[in-house]
């Protein structure tokens, strides 16, 4: 079920990103030229009236907020689904210490000299 919801909301995220791109391209550019005018930014104003710039700006803001919230939720859902399970028992492996070998005594030390 979680995989279905992640896939569904991923499709919604793609549709929302395409909608944001279209909203940005429909807006009038700040200067007379630019990409907004080249892609028909003035056509929206003639079709929807002179107050459409404020509506497009508001929709762009809401769609952008929705995009970031949905992307963050999808990220957390994927992290939650892919998290590793906690193993039962000790968390660290147990190793045995190597056996201690007797170190050879240095020549000339007091322990190796015999009493004369």
Sign of the torsion formed by the C-alpha atoms of 87, 88, 92 and 93: negative
Splitting the chain (116 residues) into consecutive groups of 10 residues, what average pLDDT does each group show? 88 95 82 56 62 82 95 92 72 78 68 54
- Is position 75 within any domain? yes
- Is position 47 within any domain? yes
Domain with 64 in it: 43-82
End-to-end CA distance of the chain: 89
pLDDT of amino acid 47 = 64
Total number of domains in the chain: 1
pLDDT of amino acid 35 = 54
Classify each residue of 53-66 as buried b or exposed e, where b means 16 or more C-beta atoms within 10 Å of its C-beta: beebeeebeebeee
How far, in Å, are 12, 83, 86 from residue 89 at the CA level? 42, 18, 9
pLDDT of amino acid 115 = 54
Query: Using an 8 Å Cβ cutoff, are 64 and 17 in contact?
Result: no
User: Model-level pTM?
Assistant: 0.58
- Is position 56 within any domain? yes
pLDDT of amino acid 2 = 79
pLDDT of amino acid 69 = 96
pLDDT of amino acid 45 = 61
- Is position 74 within any domain? yes
């Amino acid at each position: 079920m979680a995989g279905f919801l992640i896939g569904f909301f991923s499709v919604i995220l793609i549709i929302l990103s395409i909608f944001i791109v279209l909203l940005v391209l429909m807006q009038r550019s700040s200067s007379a030229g630019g990409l907004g005018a080249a892609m028909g930014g003035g056509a929206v104003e003639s079709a929807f009236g002179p107050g459409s710039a404020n509506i497009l700006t508001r929709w762009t803001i809401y769609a952008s907020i929705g995009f970031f919230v949905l992307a963050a939720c999808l990220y957390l859902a994927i992290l939650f689904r892919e998290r590793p399970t906690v193993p039962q028992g000790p968390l660290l492996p147990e190793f045995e210490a190597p056996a201690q070998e007797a170190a050879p005594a240095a020549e000339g030390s007091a322990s190796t000299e015999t009493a004369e």
